[in-house]
A and B are shown apart, each in its own frame.
Chain A
Amino acid sequence: MKHFVTSKFRYILYLVLVAPLLLFIAYAFSTRWFFPQPFPIEWTMETFQHVFHDSQTIPSLAQGLWIASLVGLLSLILALPAARVLGLRKFRGRQLVWLLFFLPTIIPPLSVGMGLNILFLRVGLAGTIAGVVLAHIIPTLPYTIFTLSSAYARFDENYEFQALALGASPWHIFLNVTLRMMTPSLVVAALFAFLISWSQYLLTLLIGGGQVITLPILLFSAASGGNPSVIATLSLLFIAPPVLVIAVTARQLNQHGNQIREQY
């Protein structure tokens, strides 16, 4: 009986998750769907073709993926040492450092972005991919640091000492012990960074100044026009990469989880 209730609940949950997606699909592939028609009458691929043939769509998709991947990689590299110290060491002012790292999540991005835009314009980073990547690292860093430091908090340094005692080189230890044990958290942290960067509108608009165009820029611009078919089509394109990335990594992480469980 209990099993029946939970499985029922599970299906309701699935429905809640999938329903908006279905609505998007219905809007993206139909036209002239007005109240009081319960379902679209005119199905069409026209909007989809329009959006694909738009000179901006594919380049902005590619550019957004490239930026989000770079942000994922760079914020991992930046977060790893910080997270190690925060997760493994106790020192005076640790809380203060935590607070500093978390400031970007509290301060509205608009205030940071406006100031940053002027600064980046001066040093020639505004309107460039490098500038946008740097700006995106600001909101992503708290999440990567948080994810990795909680992983380090559970990390047993004795594994590293053990390897050292057995004669492994520090490089060897880092690659084959530390990184290997951290892999699931690294993947999760990179995923966070990727998702946050992928969906950035404000910072991309301010720093990119229209020279760097990603999908959220197109989506906001289309939303201001209010055509539900175009908005739905762009939204489907927008959610596709994150869903794919999560689907792939979820599988990976599951396998890793099992591996780690076996080890213990």
Chain B
Amino acid sequence: MKRIVFLFVTFALLLAACAPSAATVIQPAVATDQPATTASTLAAGEFDINNWESVLTSARGQTVNWYIWGGSDTINAFVDNFYGKALKEKYDITLNRVPVADTVDAVNQVLSEKQAGKDPGAVDLIWINGENFFTLKQADLLYKDWAQKIPNAKLVNWDNPAIKLDFGHPVDNQESPWSSAQFQFIYDSARTNADELPHSYADLKTWACEHPGRFTYVDPTGSGGFLGARFIKGALYELSGGAEQWLNFDQSLWDKNSPALGSYLNDLKLCLWRNGETYPKDESELVNLFANNEVDFSMTNDITGAGRWINDGRMPATARAFVFNQYMIGDFNYVAIPLNAPNKAAALVLANLLLEPELQAAQILPENGFGLGYAIDVTRVTDSAALSALQSAATKLGDSATPASDLAKSLVGDSAAEYQTLVEQGWSKFVLQK
């Protein structure tokens, strides 16, 4: 009996203790959920993409959840300081920057929401390109037919195949560009003389074997492998004597040229850091090897060259960017809106804001910490103040960036998406495991 009484008391106490705490648990959840759902039901009915005023009206007061790779604190600060403030002041929109360790996390979030049938979801905008974009587009999970309808789309050269195709996949109006990038190398001017730098892949092999163990490249197969794949594709372009032929997929072209690529990379391997038995898995690891004097070259996609890395304290101030004479691959990166985004109007306003000429001028300045290039075509900007801001920003990239003329001279587009897999598979089979 006593035992039963005791158990009863314990149980009662348990219930009593549960009640207030359960209430406190649920409260914040309701508080955060409610405005989002009501706002989105209003928004869905209210704006018309062809009437920008209606988009602005319905976006007012919304919070835009921007899922963005959060690995660089200078990029995080740039996003908060430039877009976060402008959104609040000009459009009364709150920016919720959601840092993800890998864009694939945001893609998985949208995929799980789809599986659970959750609409509205959590994601309004994703910084995206390549395979991640293709995954969502193929699953039919992206908001459609908007990218060329936002006002600043007229500043983008949508006829440019490098913009209209993302890793060879048609963009189809489902993502809007934010910035551009181009493959470059980085060296330390305190360690290496500028006149000793290699200017072609053939030169590079000679240089590497004269300085054994002082060069390596990023593993092209890992999650941070795009930089390594880009390095290898450049070699493929040079060995096959041209970039244009690789724009469309042709298996026989690959079969014809891949043996030469394999033997180039295997010759190079003998002279690499740690004899090519292991490779840095992403740009950050290569930067660490470079900054700690283990290898002499790093690689980047930043238009500011070494600028962002120097600002971030990751490279010595004497680091400089350089390019080969040819075959330096460049491309664009984008933002996309999931189909179940709760605040589409606010996401549209943000995507449009990203293309604002003043902010485009700000994003390339090394001291602002973003470091990637223009998405807009400067010649399409008519406003004279904006135009001069863009032009003067381009001259302020500093010593650590590659001169614009060198970049333009060496620029080529990426190859068709199918080659990406062939490069990755071929590399691990014939180079890494050999």
Mark A115-146 against chain B: 1 for CB-CB distance below 8 A, else 0. 00110011011111111010000000000000
Of B9, B65, B288, the residue contacting A210 (CB under 8 A) is B65
B185 → chain A closest CB, angstroms: 19
CB pair A224–B102 under 8 Å, yes or no, is yes
How far apart sit A202 and B117, CA to CA, in the bound complex (Å)?
22
CB pair B76–A54 under 8 Å, yes or no, is yes
A185 → chain B closest CB, angstroms: 16
How would you classify the secondary structure of chain B's contact residues: helix, strand, loop or mixed? helix
CB within 8 Å: A-B pair count: 158
Count of B interface residues, CB-CB < 8 Å: 63
- Please provide the chain B residues from 81 to 98 with a CB less than 8 Å away from any CB of chain A in the complex: 84, 97-98
How far apart sit A157 and B71, CA to CA, in the bound complex (Å)?
55
A202 → chain B closest CB, angstroms: 11
Given that A213-B98, A227-B314 are known contacts, is A121 also in contact with B113, CB under 8 Å in the complex? yes
CB pair A70–B21 under 8 Å, yes or no, is yes
Mark B5-24 against chain A: 1 for CB-CB distance below 8 A, else 0. 11111110110011001001
| Chain B residues positioned under 8 Å from A47 (CB to CB) | 73, 313
How far apart sit A97 and B293, CA to CA, in the bound complex (Å)?
57
CB pair A225–B97 under 8 Å, yes or no, is no
| Chain A residues positioned under 8 Å from B26 (CB to CB) | 130
CB pair A121–B112 under 8 Å, yes or no, is yes
Mark B44-75 against chain A: 1 for CB-CB distance below 8 A, else 0. 00000000000000000000010101111100
Of A174, A218, A223, the residue contacting B10 (CB under 8 A) is A174
| Chain A residues positioned under 8 Å from B210 (CB to CB) | none
Besides A210-B109, A224-B102, 10 more A-B contacts (Cβ < 8 Å) are A50-B77, A56-B97, A77-B18, A124-B33, A130-B29, A221-B69, A221-B71, A223-B71, A226-B71, A230-B73
19 CB contacts below 8 A, A to B, read A32-B313, A32-B316, A44-B313, A51-B73, A84-B10, A121-B112, A122-B118, A124-B33, A127-B122, A128-B28, A128-B32, A129-B25, A129-B32, A173-B9, A224-B102, A225-B73, A226-B284, A226-B288, A227-B284
**Chain A: residues with CB nearer than 8 A to chain B?**
31-32, 34-36, 42, 44, 47, 50-51, 53-56, 70, 73-74, 77, 80-81, 84, 114, 117-118, 121-122, 124-131, 133, 160-161, 164, 170-171, 173-174, 205, 209-211, 213, 217-218, 220-227, 229-230
**Chain B: residues with CB nearer than 8 A to chain A?**
2, 5-11, 13-14, 17-18, 21, 24-26, 28-29, 32-33, 65, 67, 69-73, 76-77, 80, 84, 97-102, 105-106, 109, 112-113, 115-118, 122-123, 282, 284-285, 287-288, 291-294, 312-317
